[in-house]
Copies of this chain bind each other. A is one copy, B any other.
Amino acid sequence: MSRYFRAKVVSNLPLNKKSNLLTLRPLERAKNPEPGQFYMIEVGNSYDPLLKRPFSYFRKTSEDIQFLYAVRGKGTLLMKDFMEGEIINIIGPLGTGYPKPSRGYIAVLIGGGTGIASIFSLAERLTKNAYILHGAKCREELLAVNELKSLKGESFICTDDGSFGEKGTTVEILEEILTQNSRLKTQNLIYACGPRAMLEAVSKLAADKGIKGYFSLVEYMACGFGACLGCAVKTVHGYKRVCKEGPVFPIEEIVW
């Protein structure tokens, strides 16, 4: 069961102007991913672009692996052209995912933008005592809204411009939640993935309130499996590889 395998594109559906839902079916036996893990996806068959691109898995069904991706640069632009039936090479599952919350903890999950992909994989596993926050700039950039509704935990959706859900940022909602169940605040456990600005704000809030948690970080990657040392991020224990020790790190260990 190799983590380097071929997969067939089952579908590649646009969710909004910028993002697609990609469903891949492994053609070989593949390992099951844990929440927060990711895959390196081949975006084309020339050497330009050269490297595979990292994507958190969004959902694992019995046969397929699903990804939510936004078009950002030339690699993701090529991914938009993936056609049903096309066969691509992928590597995964990779990295160290989210540790499960211990008993009694209330998990607060925050997915900013495409960060929801990584968060969703965890959200699906949590049966209770979970809040799931998803935010985006505007209605058109929200993702997986219906899927979020189907979760067991309580989900909150917000947009910067108020065009859907609450008007405001996930950080504002987080603050509210923490205030509401303030007696238990140190029993909250934050899980977040999203833009750097969001993570920094959440990190400050967490530090202020003495709440622990985990962030999934992004960094440019060449290999994705620990060999190139290209994806280093600074932690209190020195440089760590986002692709191996991460992408999930305890909030308090991250050096911004």
Residues of A near any B CB (own CB < 8 A): 44, 46-49, 74, 78
Contact = CB atoms under 8 A, between A and B. Distances in A.
Contacts of A48: 46-48
A74 to B, nearest CB: 8
A78 B48 CA distance: 14
Q: List the 3 closest A-B pairs by CB distance, nearest first.
A: A48-B48, A46-B48, A47-B48
A49 B47 CA distance: 9
Instruction: Tell me if A's interface is mostly helix, strand, loop or mixed.
Output: loop
Nearest to A46: B48
Copies in the complex: 2
A78 B44 CA distance: 11
Contacts of A74: 46
A46 B47 CA distance: 9
Contacts of A47: 48
A74 B44 CA distance: 13
Contacts of A46: 44, 46, 48-49, 74, 78
A215 to B, nearest CB: 34
A46 B74 CA distance: 9
A220 B195 CA distance: 48
8 contacts: A44-B46, A46-B46, A46-B48, A46-B49, A46-B74, A46-B78, A47-B48, A48-B48
Contacts of A49: 46
A97 to B, nearest CB: 33
A48 B78 CA distance: 14
A48 B43 CA distance: 14
A109 B74 CA distance: 46
Given A47-B48, A48-B48, 6 more contacts: A44-B46, A46-B46, A46-B48, A46-B49, A46-B74, A46-B78
Interface centre among A44, A46, A49, A78 (most CB of B within 10 A): A46
